[in-house]
Each structure stands twice: as C-alpha cells, then as structure tokens.
Amino acid sequence: MYLEFYGLRDAPFSPTPDPKFLFQSSRHREALAQLVYGVRERKGFIVLTGEIGTGKTTLLRTLLERLDDEHPVAYVHNSSLPWEGMLEYILHDWGVKTIGTSQAQRLVDLNEFLIDQHRLGRSPVLVIDEAQNLSIESLEAVRLLSNFETTQAKLLQILLVGQPELRDKLNAFELRQLKQRIALRCHISPLGPEEARQYIRHRLRVAGATDAGIFTDGAVQRITEYSRGIPRVMNTLCDHCLISGYADSKRRIDVRMVEDAIEYLEDGEQPRWKRRAQARLTPSPGWVWAARSGVAALVIALLAMMVFAANSVGWLP
C-alpha cells in the first residue's frame, strides 16, 4: 500500500523470515559463523537460543541457504509432536521410504539412510525448532540419534533451536548425557540502541529505499524503547508507522506517529490514520441531511413538471 509512496520495492518490515533482510549484528554474525562451522565440521550437537522475536528463524533460513547438497536438511517445525510422530516426520522430510511399522524398524531405516549418505560424502542435518517444548523423553530420544556415527565422524548433525527456557531444560539431571555432547552453543540477544537504528535503515535499504532517514532519530529512539530491541516487535511497529505516514502523506516518520502506532498495539484502539481515512469516506450528518434534502427537492420539481405537462395537453380535468 505504501511501497510506491516511499520508493520501496518490497515491504521492509514483513514478518516473514526472509534471509535477504537478515541484519547481522555482532551477536547474529557470531552465531551464524558458529552454526556454519559446526555443521560443516560435523560437530554433532549445536544449540541456538534467543528470546522470542530476536531473529532465530531468519538466522536458520540464512544458514540453510548457505548449505549445499552435501547437507540434506530435515526441518521439524512442530516440536509438540510425540517422539514417534517426530521420527516419522524426519524420515519423510529426508525422503526416506520406510515400510517399518515399529519405532525400531524406523530407526533401522534411518541408520541405513545415514550410512548411504555418508558413503556419498554427505552429512545430513536435523533442525528442531521450538525445542524448548520437547519433553525430557523426546530430548533423550534425540540424543540417542547422535549414536549414529562411524569411528571418524558423526553421521548426523543435530541443531536444537529454542527460547532461553531450552537452556534451563538442558540443565536437567536426566539430560546430563545430552548436555555433555553439545559442541557449540549460540545465543542471540536483543539489539542495542545503535544496532536498532542500523537495523531499521538496513531493512529500508534492502527494500529499495534511496532515503534511509524515513524514520527520524526521535522516532527510532521511541521504537527502540518500546520494542526493547526485539526485531519482531520493531517490524510490527515500523510497518504501522509507514501506513500512518502514507495516510497522512508524510515523508518522515516522527515520534507522534510512533506513539499513535503504540497506542493501537497496546490498547487495540483504531489508529488515527484509519479513523482519518474512514472520515474521508463516511459522509457527515450535515452532508447526509443536505443530500437527502436535495433528492426530495428534485422529486418535487419532477412531479410539478409532470403536472404542468399533463395540464397543458388537457389530460387533467
């Protein structure tokens, strides 16, 4: 809606995890480097954690784009599945055709698949998102998958991704064996004030903006304060601000527009830009009365003309 007005090719603050919009803060850059290194060097278990909305999924998508055919990926999105369902999902994602009806038979099929991949020089990667939702039993079952190995290398690279609660869960006494096998740990923190400013400008620039200063310094500061440096919240707030600016024909997003957007997000109140737009489309009571009066006058005039015409030709007595 506002793309042409601001000279943009793409929506700069879309909620989808598009890798081209990845802003590599020092934490994101370090985490991505560790992920790539861990997978390519076959380190086995890797854990990536971060608060909700800090960009874990975007980071994962970037990682997957950098992997070649030597690293076929099984990506589990639904961590609420029981282990049997998760194992079936993993096999399906890797294209393993199994006729096994028991868990033991499916594990045998998985082992044969991993051995075949190893012979071909490949190293499959298993990604489990929202891993903080996994039960202790499921996490222990995932650990057992790491037993698929040769004397020289792991046959399977496992990446657990989740919120900070995942770190707490991995400290459970029952998971001490899994904790010992974690080779790399990566954590993503919220953006700092300067990083937040760079983040907004980065996304605008990637979206095609020639003017990176669409948001004033004051607006960026208020966005950072409200979002606490969480990129997902920043995206939502910035998107509302651009819609408001477009409705008001404002080339610059200032603090007032940000406050309007925050009011809408917090209280559910209809934002001012929408109220103004509706006001332009909805006639006021005075205009409605005038319109109705005009129609009535037109009808009376037409009736008078018809009576006059009928009387002139002698149709009326």
- Contacts with 256 (C-beta within 8 Å, 6 or more apart), sequence order: none
Q: Please write the tens of the pLDDT for every residue from 21-74.
A: 999 899 999 999 999 999 999 898 999 999 999 999 999 999 999 998 899 999
Fold of 26-188: Rossmann fold (3.40.50)
**With the CA atoms of 300, 304, 310 and 313 taken in that order, what torsion angle do they form, in degrees rounded to the nearest 10?**
-150
Between CA 231 and CA 224 the distance in angstroms is 9
Confidence tier at 215 by pLDDT (50, 70, 90): very high
pTM of the model: 0.80
**Cβ-based neighbours of 59, under 8 Å, separated by 6 or more:** 22, 28, 31, 32, 35, 48, 188
Tokens at residue 155, please?
């046959």
Q: What is the pLDDT of residues 1-27, one digit of tens each?
A: 789 999 999 999 999 999 999 998 999
Q: Are 163 and 52 in contact (CB under 8 A)?
A: yes
Provide the 3-class DSSP secondary structure of residue 101.
coil
* pLDDT score recorded for residue 299: 46
Structure tokens at 176: 């001490």
Q: Which CATH number fits domain 3-10+193-281: 1.10.20.10, 1.10.8.60, 3.40.50.2300, 3.30.930.10?
A: 1.10.8.60
Q: What is the pLDDT of the chain when averaged over all its residues?
A: 86
The pLDDT tens digits for 282-296 are: 554 544 444 455 545
Kindly report the number of other CB atoms within 10 A of residue 71's CB atom. 18
DSSP 8-state assignment for residue 283: P
Domain with CATH 3.40.50.300 in the chain: 26-188
Report residue 253: phi and psi, to 5°.
-95, 120
Range(s) of the chain covered by CATH 1.10.8.60: 3-10+193-281
Give the Cα separation of 167 and 171 in Å (integer): 7
pLDDT value of residue 265:
87
**pLDDT grade, residue 275 (50/70/90)?**
low
> Is residue 297's pLDDT more than 70?
no
* Mean pLDDT across 238-253: 93
Mean pLDDT within 234-242: 95
Residue 95 Cα to chain centre, angstroms: 27
Query: Tokens 């608060």, residue?
Result: 51
